[in-house]
Chains A and B, each alone.
Chain A
Amino acid sequence: MTQPLNRRTFLCGATATVATVAGAGVLASMDSSLTETLGDTLEGLLQKQYQRMTPEEIQEALARIERRARRRQGVTIRCVNTPPRNQVTFGFALNLSRCIGARRCVEACFRENNCSEHNQPYIRVISLPKGSWDLTRGDHGFNPATVPEPDRWYLPVQCQQCEDPACVQACPVGATWQEPDGVVVIDYDWCIGCRYCQTACPYWARRFNWREPLVPAARMVSETHYLGNRPRMRGVMEKCTFCLQRTRQGRQPACQEACPTGARIFGNLLDPEGELRYVLEHKTVYRLKEELHTEPKFWYFTDV
């Protein structure tokens, strides 16, 4: 006959087990920097999802981010939480006739977004043989003496900021979502690093931090946004956000600013007078893998 389990023994055992497991988990995941204060670590661990935080909690989180950057990288950064603007939905159009495969956009984006030396950049420029749209025939690591090459054309691909994003649907914890200005963002403090969004994205636009990000202090861009280019941590996902730390303040995204040929057109889709709307209305535009119905807000067109 089984004896009824003594409740006290059971509770003690259960508590001890949970405490041990939790303790081990916390210790294993704690940032090993000795200067990291315990308070910041614990508060960070217990932080709520961005959309559920009160304004005060967001301010505390921003202060923690700034403190951590000072402690761990020895840099002074400003981390803000600029909200989306009313009556703005960001979109992008890219003129393939003008793109020469210089990849200045790739560099500028990498710097502006404080990307880790260990990571692939957000923008992928694919060199394709003229007359083909077959991506499997593309060259991702092209390195000719001069661009453009006579028999190639270039296709830059980055996050398409879909209206119906597969990544957002996939995320099991709601760590990625679409902001009111149409940008799909990630709460780096809420992501559990399962990489299901990376699997779901048809544009291969997401980048995972396989190790502790490495951003030399010398090139750290100090104007940062909570949902944008602030320092990330190991084991979480990141991607292009249309440079929201810039564009929410009315500036250009870094890729557009850097393009030597003016192939990139960025703007507000809700502005009927804007250049973006002009392109959409007067050019033959198309979207990558439109048949998957993710409704990208990123269009390609040619002059011809």
Chain B
Amino acid sequence: MRVLLGMGWSGGWRYRIWLLFLAMLAIPGVSGWVEQQTEGLSVTGMSDAVSWGWYIGQFVFFVGIAASAIILVVPALVWAGQEWRTVALIGEAMAVCAVCASLLFILVDVGRPERFWHGLPFVGTPHFPSSILSWDLLVLLVYLFLNAGLGYWHLRHRLQTRIHPESHRLLPWILVAVLAGIGIHVVTAFLLAGNPSRPFWNTALLAPRFIVTALAAGSGWMILTLVILRHVAGLVVADPVWTLLARVMASVLLINLIFLASEFFVAFHRPSGHSLFMQSLWSGQGDTPFHGLWMKGAWALQVCATVGSLWALWRGVTHGWLVCAALLTVAGIWMEKGVGLIVGGFLPTPLGEWASYHPTWIEYRVTLAIMAMVLFLFSLLVRIILAVEARTR
């Protein structure tokens, strides 16, 4: 453990400056959170009408990234050869970091973080199995420990024996982790979809859509990460890896478009409680011009991303096109699932009132801080993974 940690800190001056830069990014957010704790959540743009916003939006998005990370680890560990194993480790690190981000976003969203222990077994009174939120915290924690444990054991094995562990030794754990990975995102979807009080979310399509958008955003995220690592750390990624990621991204984006079309049909064929929000984006009802622009932009990006990723596949996975498609995918899904969908569920209120929600600087600062902290952790983990690789090659 100590050896591994030492590897994480060691690096050239560029790496040190990068870490310092991330630490600096977190400062305004930490002070923003302190302000939020002393003043109250009134410093955010949230209200009784839109009582979840930017924070929970990020939470949902990062749960998706976490869930898809493990699903991308599977082929690397189960079918493919040794050259894939590094990618698998990076996937594990991504899962761990994304779950940390999710949990941090919940922590900054609650009004009384010091009472978190009320939800723990034995000392508190977790409302299990009734509350979907209790379920969500449980599966997130299970997933976090599974991935952290798997990754750590894998690295130690690599360091001690100079080879990656055999597939058959990892397989049972990987299977459990895959189930947990699907579980965290399905439960997060159920957290929203299980509310008849919120007709916009109250659709059976939400969980399947969450899974495909997670896979799309996750593979896009992975592509971008590997491209960056190739440039800054000289990480060599085998061609089949790119092909697989591109194929996963393109196919789930296509499925996502079918789902999206289905949503549009139901929303615009005949009006209903479920369609109120989506129709308001076009009719401009209830002070949502910005929201309308945001959502339409998100959908447009997803359509462009689908076309782009198919194009990239057809052109034989050239990196330029692939990176463009990945950027569009991550941005489109982040905009929709991250914020648009969460806020949309609150509009109009169950008593038919329209309200508006605009995130404040505090929310942006805190969000940036959490992302910086998680990137910091991810940088350390990737540094360790690459150092172990270098030492055992």
Chain B residues contacting A206 (CB-CB under 8 Å) are 48
**Could you tell me the distance between the alpha carbons of A275 and B35 in the complex, rounded to whole angstroms?**
52
**Could you tell me the distance between the alpha carbons of A149 and B156 in the complex, rounded to whole angstroms?**
77
Stretch in A74-82, A99-107, A193-201, A217-225 touching the partner: A193-201
Q: Which residue of A25, A45, A204 is within 8 Å of B350 (Cβ)?
A: A204
Q: Which residue of B119, B132, B345 is within 8 Å of A192 (Cβ)?
A: B119
Q: How many residues of B contact A (CB 8 A)?
A: 55
- A136 B111 Cβ-Cβ under 8 A: no
Q: Which residue of A45, A118, A124, A135 is within 8 Å of B114 (Cβ)?
A: A45
Chain B residues contacting A136 (CB-CB under 8 Å) are 276, 348, 352
| Known A3-B3, A292-B197: A174·B37 in contact at CB below 8 Å | no
Chain A residues contacting B351 (CB-CB under 8 Å) are 124, 126, 135, 138, 140, 157, 203-204
- A198 B51 Cβ-Cβ under 8 A: yes
Chain A residues contacting B124 (CB-CB under 8 Å) are 49, 173
- A208 B51 Cβ-Cβ under 8 A: yes
- A169 B130 Cβ-Cβ under 8 A: yes
- Say yes or no: is B270 at the interface (Cβ < 8 Å to chain A): no
Chain A residues contacting B239 (CB-CB under 8 Å) are none
A295 to chain B, nearest CB (A): 13
- Say yes or no: is B149 at the interface (Cβ < 8 Å to chain A): no
- Say yes or no: is A245 at the interface (Cβ < 8 Å to chain B): no
- Say yes or no: is A175 at the interface (Cβ < 8 Å to chain B): yes
Q: How many residues of A contact B (CB 8 A)?
A: 58
| Known A120-B48, A140-B353, A195-B52: A208·B111 in contact at CB below 8 Å | yes
**Could you tell me the distance between the alpha carbons of A126 and B4 in the complex, rounded to whole angstroms?**
63
**Could you tell me the distance between the alpha carbons of A210 and B257 in the complex, rounded to whole angstroms?**
39
**Closest residue on chain B to residue A128 by CB atoms:** B352
Chain B residues contacting A211 (CB-CB under 8 Å) are 39-42
**Closest residue on chain B to residue A24 by CB atoms:** B34
**Closest residue on chain B to residue A191 by CB atoms:** B112
| Known A135-B351, A136-B352, A173-B127: A199·B114 in contact at CB below 8 Å | no
- A235 B131 Cβ-Cβ under 8 A: no
A27 to chain B, nearest CB (A): 9
Chain B residues contacting A192 (CB-CB under 8 Å) are 110-113, 115-116, 118-119
- Say yes or no: is A63 at the interface (Cβ < 8 Å to chain B): no
**Closest residue on chain B to residue A291 by CB atoms:** B196
- B111 A1 Cβ-Cβ under 8 A: no
Chain B residues contacting A235 (CB-CB under 8 Å) are 40-41, 110-112
- Say yes or no: is A145 at the interface (Cβ < 8 Å to chain B): no
- B42 A210 Cβ-Cβ under 8 A: yes
A252 to chain B, nearest CB (A): 25
Q: Which residue of A32, A171, A194, A204 is within 8 Å of B109 (Cβ)?
A: A194
Chain A residues contacting B352 (CB-CB under 8 Å) are 126, 134-138
- A174 B197 Cβ-Cβ under 8 A: no
- Say yes or no: is B150 at the interface (Cβ < 8 Å to chain A): no
**Could you tell me the distance between the alpha carbons of A118 and B348 in the complex, rounded to whole angstroms?**
22
**Could you tell me the distance between the alpha carbons of A192 and B131 in the complex, rounded to whole angstroms?**
14
- A196 B133 Cβ-Cβ under 8 A: yes
- Say yes or no: is B390 at the interface (Cβ < 8 Å to chain A): no
**Could you tell me the distance between the alpha carbons of A289 and B352 in the complex, rounded to whole angstroms?**
13
Chain B residues contacting A209 (CB-CB under 8 Å) are 40, 111
- A172 B131 Cβ-Cβ under 8 A: yes
* 0/1 string, B307-345, CB within 8 A of A gives 1: 000000000000000000000000000000000000001
**Could you tell me the distance between the alpha carbons of A291 and B51 in the complex, rounded to whole angstroms?**
25
**Closest residue on chain B to residue A155 by CB atoms:** B351
Chain A residues contacting B197 (CB-CB under 8 Å) are 166, 199-202, 292
- B159 A1 Cβ-Cβ under 8 A: yes
**Could you tell me the distance between the alpha carbons of A169 and B106 in the complex, rounded to whole angstroms?**
19
- A172 B127 Cβ-Cβ under 8 A: yes
- B198 A28 Cβ-Cβ under 8 A: no
**Closest residue on chain B to residue A188 by CB atoms:** B112
**Could you tell me the distance between the alpha carbons of A140 and B348 in the complex, rounded to whole angstroms?**
13
- Say yes or no: is B393 at the interface (Cβ < 8 Å to chain A): no
* 0/1 string, B94-138, CB within 8 A of A gives 1: 000000000000100111111110110000111100111110010
- B126 A204 Cβ-Cβ under 8 A: no
Chain A residues contacting B114 (CB-CB under 8 Å) are 25-26, 28-29, 45
A235 to chain B, nearest CB (A): 3
Chain B residues contacting A175 (CB-CB under 8 Å) are 118
Chain A residues contacting B156 (CB-CB under 8 Å) are 2
* 0/1 string, B338-373, CB within 8 A of A gives 1: 000000011011111100000000000000000000
Chain A residues contacting B116 (CB-CB under 8 Å) are 192
* 0/1 string, B36-68, CB within 8 A of A gives 1: 011111100011110110000000000000000
Q: State the 8 A-B residue pairs at the shortest beta-carbon distance, nearest first.
A: A193-B111, A235-B111, A135-B352, A211-B40, A202-B197, A172-B133, A210-B42, A136-B352
Given contacts A173-B126, A201-B197, 6 further A-B contacts (CB under 8 A): A172-B134, A173-B124, A194-B109, A194-B133, A202-B196, A235-B41
